[in-house]
Structure 1
Amino acid sequence: MSSIHWPVALVCILAGVHSSWAWSNTHPSPDQALILQQERERALQEQVLPAAPDVRLPRQADVLVDYPASEAPCFAIHELRMVGELAERFRWALAAADAVGRCLGAQGVNLAMKRVQNALIAQGYVTTRVLVTPQDLKPGVLTLTLIPGRIQSIRFAEPASWRARWSNALPARPGDVLNLRDIEQALENFKRVPTADADIQIEPAGADGKSDLVIAWKETLPIRLSLSLDDGGSEATGRYQGSATLSLDNLLTVNDLFYYSQGKDLFQHDPLGSKSRSLHYSLPLGYWQLGLTLNDYRYHQTIAGANEKYLYRGDSENSQLNLSRVVFRSQAHKTTLSLRAYQRKSRNFVEDTEIRLQHRQTAGWELGLNQRSYLGDATLDAGLNWRRGTAMLGALPAPEEETGSGGSRPSVVAADLSYNQPLKIGAQKLRINSQWRGQWSKGALVPQDRFVIGGRYTVRGFDGDLSLSSERGWLWRNELSWAMGPSGQELYLGLDLGRVSGAASALLIGRQLAGGAVGMRGSLFKRLSYDMFTAWPIQKPAGFQTGAASGFSLNIQL
């Protein structure tokens, strides 16, 4: 202890004690910088890695009428059978015929065959055929013959680029039964790369039931450089934040994505401020997707001592490995299962003296289930995740474990729901977007694992320097937007509500926030995108201090 000044040591001790339960209800804590950065990293991924367009190829089924009321001659059908190659695999389609117990003539038999055919088409088997061969119906048995439609070859349309690869994008192989769901997945894997586009045509191959898949693939310059500026940082570490992001699309020619981003505060006087770096790589493997994301963040701010201010520094590193698989998809639904492994490290210093009580190193895994459903023009997304901390990768006990106010092995259940509905009133195009997000944990959580509300990324109307956080909570964000003609600009109104609960909420000055927002966003000259808004609190606890909640973000593609 003799190597450091006693005032600095006292600040270190107090900082460590405060971190274990609460800093203040009315002043930002050092943990707030890390929490805000987590939200910024999530927003960066959404910006740099736009969601791949959902591909839903149109059905080609016939529109069928009901069975005729009476036919002459007709035969009473007591059993429906399917024969042919792979008949056992597709026997489920017979239920669509609804022919058992009916008296069918030539028209009815043809209709039963078409109903089974439509059932196959509805499941994506558009080249598999069902036939009725000559047979005696007097015994009451109708037999349908199945001819599976297979893929004979897969090739790129000429001229084909040497950078085009289909092997990891398309789940099917030559010889497999052709299914539209496999083609839809392949198109999504191709189109996930922002600078690439693709189309797949099904061409007859001559042989009975065989088809060729011909892929038309093209790309523009696979290098993207973007610069961004926003005022979403904190007052303590830099309100204005800038970043530069280099994206290399299809880097290894396997429809992969790579980006490196570096950010820092702007207009802040040294040594105060913040710096961040992010690296991401992901690639598709048919219905699977594998991704790796690395982040590090460093910030400097001042904290007040008894007689002077001290320089406070925080360093953090986050890494995560993601593996996901589309386990079901149809014309109207898509279900994805995901597994994520993560590691987080953070260290804090006062005047270059480490605060041991704030040294954290945690690791764990997260299991997720996501469902997307198309309800006419509307889209409904639902997600359920379970996150569990473990002792792997050198995880350390949390300082809060001594007081029972948190731990390094949390068990957290999170859920989210999103509804997007386009509307048209006359010539006016509107859109409703509603998002709900919640978290539940039985045990106490450290600050970085708690549910947070208050700020542009959660409940708008608050500057984000202060927030409410606890083990459990939910928030509900709502927007009504109006497209301003073909200009690419839209006006929007927002209304948000959030609430926290749990053991940590007993130390808060309140548990609920509500805010409103009005803004405008869009793109100009195809390269500049922006979002400008002003927001205001509607409900907040007495004594909950917040500054102006207006804000902006700019992004330019070079």
Structure 2
Amino acid sequence: METVARGKIFVGLAGWAVFAIQPVQADDQLFIHQKQQQQALEQRLEAKAPTVRLKRPDALLPDYPDNEHPCFTINALRLEGDTAGRFQWALESAEGAKGRCLGRQGILLAINKVQNAILAKGYVTTRVMAQEQDLTQGVLTLTLHPGRIANIHFDEPASWRGRLWNAMPAASGDILNLRDIEQALENFKRVPSAEADIKIVPSQQEATSDLLVSWKESRLPVRLSLSLDDSGAKSTGRYLGSATLAIDAPFAQNDLFYANIGKDFFEHGPFGNRSRTINYFFPLGYWAFSANHNDYTYHQNIAEVSQVLTYRGKSENTQFTVSRLLFRNQSHKTTLNMRVFRRHSTNAVNGIEMKQQRRRTAGWELGLSQRSYLGNVTLDANTNWRRGTGAFGALRAPEEAYHEGSARTGIALGDVSLNIPFAWGKQPWRYYTSVRWQWSPHPLTPQDRMSIAGRYTVRGFDGEQMLSGEKGLLWRNELAWNVLSRGHELYWATDYGRVDGQGARHLAGHQLAGSALGIRGMLWGRFHYDLFAGVPLYKPKGFHTPGVSSGFSVNLEI
């Protein structure tokens, strides 16, 4: 009986072997569609630390004075004292003193230049002085007095949920640096219900300071939000609703947890879908650890001549991420990201699994993230290298039998974005542009290819049909007006995308361009909305999409 049933199923699908080597399978496109939705969800929900930049006024120092009397010719500068070896770079700021005949004002200026260089690096309690010395030898010797941390404690009894040990990267005895304080504040404030501040006060010991931490919870540490949008695929349910439960500091360690469930809404047809996501985040000074798991299932009925076939698909994704802040100053932050992942997907017809379509992949990803503040412009950039492996019981991809793709090859990915606020007509405006790219020298499985078309890539398309390839470029642009400074943005978007590679050779074309007009904002401090309508500007012949594609998303925080 099972043999007969399988035979009917395969005939109904026009032969699984033929189906398996098509450029983009229907189930693959649904999983790709869901992957884009999942990325958008994680971008909205995952822990994002508010940027803390402790500024100090820039001191503009004059040039060295001429014709001082008496004066001494300075040929070399030295920096001595406790841990002076760590600060030799600061002498470069006083290079202009070499070869000059300096008097009292010139020597004081050289000291101030070295002092300011150290202050600019965040060492705000470290001091540079000049002891009495013989300058007739042409050597100016400066003495470093490092300012250290004596104690770190709360300024008043804090809730048992407040924790210092994993938020503050510095410890007693360390040289005080503003960058450590900034990082601690970001670790505290990443928790939405927490408010924190840190003060530097003199300690009882000479050349030391205490850090007094003010910490409190401003609201309940549990939040519930409900969302609804029309980003789903027509074949499995266009309207998607979800509920998210977020818990701040569930283990009282400045950590974060959220769980999300979603499903199709309103439409009662022979189809449906469901998704679930859980995420946990834990900071540790300049380190951060996170774990994420999500799964997605869908079903749809396919009517054949003699029977109705129920087609089901399921995917599971698990990943662990470790991040380490490598560098930060007042304007730049560089972070190293390391990730391991495992993905599993299956398909079944009338309850019988299509084993030839089973996928189980695993791998790792290594990347760098950069955030820079260039005046009032914010730049974000990421570059990553992803590699599939045979770990965690990974299977060879079905496409490998036909040399159509592999899940165990390298993929280079990257993106860069600029957010540029400006004023025009005494109104606040913003221009946002981003470029995302992907490159691989080898054929990839459909899930690993770059796909374009739809609200998450090239707007103006409904996303029911996509272009995908191993290599791709996506350029998104927005010009937004904060209407009368009321928190509602009217925006105009124009996007362009292109894909290439072996997986794109059977496509009708390789490029898409589209535009959209929309409005988004917040009402009553809890209700977020985004409404838009777009049109395709360019699409290849034979690429099907409506003349106008509209959409919405709403989110209510309870």
Could you tell me the TM-score, scaled by structure 1's length? 0.97
Residues 137-162 of structure 1, C-alpha deviations (whole Å, 9 max, x = no match): 11111111100000000011224222
Instruction: Give the match for residue 429 of structure 2.
Output: 430
In 2: Cα distance, 1:57 partner to 1:15 partner:
61
Q: Is the 8 A contact 2:127 2:145 kept in 1?
A: yes
Instruction: Give the match for residue 230 of structure 1.
Output: 229
Tell me, yes or no, if structure 1 residue 90 matches structure 2 residue 87: yes
Tell me, yes or no, if structure 1 residue 528 matches structure 2 residue 527: yes
Instruction: Give the match for residue 53 of structure 1.
Output: 50
Are the structure 2 counterparts of residues 235 and 469 from structure 1 closer, same or farther at C-alpha, using a change threshold of 3 Å? same
Q: Is the 8 A contact 1:12 1:355 kept in 2?
A: no
In 1: Cα distance, 2:14 partner to 2:167 partner:
55
Residues 44-99 of structure 1, C-alpha deviations (whole Å, 9 max, x = no match): 11212363211111024532111112211100011111111111111111111122
Q: Is the 8 A contact 2:530 2:554 kept in 1?
A: yes
Per mean C-alpha deviation after superposition, the further-off stretch among 139-148 and 239-248 is: 139-148
Q: What secondary structure does 1:89 align onto? A: helix
**Matching of residues 127-526 of structure 1 within 5 Å:** 127-219=125-217, 220-269=219-268, 272-303=271-302, 305=304, 308-526=307-525
In 2: Cα distance, 1:176 partner to 1:347 partner:
53
In 1: Cα distance, 2:342 partner to 2:303 partner:
32
Residues 215-259 of structure 1, C-alpha deviations (whole Å, 9 max, x = no match): 111212100100000000000010000000000011111111100
In 2: Cα distance, 1:503 partner to 1:400 partner:
12
Letter in 2 for 1:9: F
Q: Is the 8 A contact 1:363 1:389 kept in 2?
A: yes
- Give structure 2 stretches of 5+ with no counterpart: none
Q: What secondary structure does 1:8 align onto? A: helix
Letter in 1 for 2:48: A
Letter in 2 for 1:411: G
In 2: Cα distance, 1:334 partner to 1:300 partner:
44
Per mean C-alpha deviation after superposition, the further-off stretch among 82-91 and 58-67 is: 58-67
Alignment coverage as a number of residue pairs: 554
Q: Per-residue deviation at 1:301?
A: 1.7
Q: Is the 8 A contact 1:13 1:355 kept in 2?
A: no
Q: What secondary structure does 1:518 align onto? A: strand
In 1: Cα distance, 2:518 partner to 2:555 partner:
16
Q: Per-residue deviation at 1:382?
A: 1.2
Letter in 2 for 1:409: R
Letter in 2 for 1:383: N
Q: Per-residue deviation at 1:306?
A: 5.5
Tell me, yes or no, if structure 1 residue 29 matches structure 2 residue 30: no
Are the structure 2 counterparts of residues 185 and 281 from structure 1 closer, same or farther at C-alpha, using a change threshold of 3 Å? same
Q: What secondary structure does 2:5 align onto? A: coil
Instruction: Give the match for residue 553 of structure 1.
Output: 553
In 2: Cα distance, 1:12 partner to 1:428 partner:
57
Residues 295-352 of structure 1, C-alpha deviations (whole Å, 9 max, x = no match): 0000012345455542211011000000011101111111111111000000001111
Are the structure 2 counterparts of residues 432 and 61 from structure 1 closer, same or farther at C-alpha, using a change threshold of 3 Å? closer
In 2: Cα distance, 1:14 partner to 1:22 partner:
15
Q: Is the 8 A contact 2:47 2:256 kept in 1?
A: no
In 2: Cα distance, 1:79 partner to 1:458 partner:
58
In 2: Cα distance, 1:259 partner to 1:514 partner:
36
Q: Per-residue deviation at 1:269?
A: 2.2
Q: What secondary structure does 1:21 align onto? A: coil
Q: Is the 8 A contact 1:490 1:520 kept in 2?
A: yes
Tell me, yes or no, if structure 1 residue 122 matches structure 2 residue 123: no
Q: Per-residue deviation at 1:479?
A: 0.1
In 2: Cα distance, 1:543 partner to 1:515 partner:
16
Q: Per-residue deviation at 1:22?
A: 2.5
In 2: Cα distance, 1:355 partner to 1:16 partner:
11
Q: Per-residue deviation at 1:12?
A: 5.6
Q: What secondary structure does 1:90 align onto? A: helix
Q: What secondary structure does 2:186 align onto? A: helix
In 1: Cα distance, 2:307 partner to 2:517 partner:
41
Residues 472-526 of structure 1, C-alpha deviations (whole Å, 9 max, x = no match): 1111000000001232111000000000001111111111000000000000000
Pick the aligned partner of 2:69 from 68, 72, 81: 72
In 2: Cα distance, 1:383 partner to 1:188 partner:
20
Residues 373-407 of structure 1, C-alpha deviations (whole Å, 9 max, x = no match): 11110011111110000000000011111100011
Q: Is the 8 A contact 1:283 1:289 kept in 2?
A: yes
In 2: Cα distance, 1:412 partner to 1:358 partner:
22
In 2: Cα distance, 1:443 partner to 1:298 partner:
30
Letter in 2 for 1:108: G
Residues 451-482 of structure 1, C-alpha deviations (whole Å, 9 max, x = no match): 00000000001111110011111110000000
Letter in 2 for 1:441: S
In 2: Cα distance, 1:506 partner to 1:305 partner:
31
Q: Is the 8 A contact 1:198 1:218 kept in 2?
A: yes
Task: Output the aligned Cα RMSD.
Answer: 1.4
Q: Is the 8 A contact 1:165 1:254 kept in 2?
A: yes
Residues 89-120 of structure 1, C-alpha deviations (whole Å, 9 max, x = no match): 11111111122211110001100000000000
Q: Is the 8 A contact 2:47 2:281 kept in 1?
A: no
Letter in 1 for 2:66: A
Could you tell me the TM-score, scaled by structure 2's length? 0.97
Q: Is the 8 A contact 2:10 2:16 kept in 1?
A: no
Are the structure 2 counterparts of residues 211 and 483 from structure 1 closer, same or farther at C-alpha, using a change threshold of 3 Å? same
Q: Per-residue deviation at 1:426?
A: 3.7
In 2: Cα distance, 1:427 partner to 1:49 partner:
35
Q: Per-residue deviation at 1:408?
A: 2.5
Letter in 2 for 1:439: Q
Q: Is the 8 A contact 2:460 2:535 kept in 1?
A: yes
In 2: Cα distance, 1:374 partner to 1:19 partner:
48
In 2: Cα distance, 1:16 partner to 1:274 partner:
26
Residues 253-303 of structure 1, C-alpha deviations (whole Å, 9 max, x = no match): 111110000000002326511000000001111111100000000001234
Fraction of identical pairs, as percent: 53
Tell me, yes or no, if structure 1 residue 42 matches structure 2 residue 39: yes
In 2: Cα distance, 1:183 partner to 1:209 partner:
18
Q: Is the 8 A contact 1:16 1:355 kept in 2?
A: no
Q: What secondary structure does 1:30 align onto? A: helix
Instruction: Give the match for residue 538 of structure 2.
Output: 539
Letter in 1 for 2:141: T
Q: Is the 8 A contact 1:16 1:358 kept in 2?
A: no
Q: Is the 8 A contact 2:311 2:347 kept in 1?
A: yes
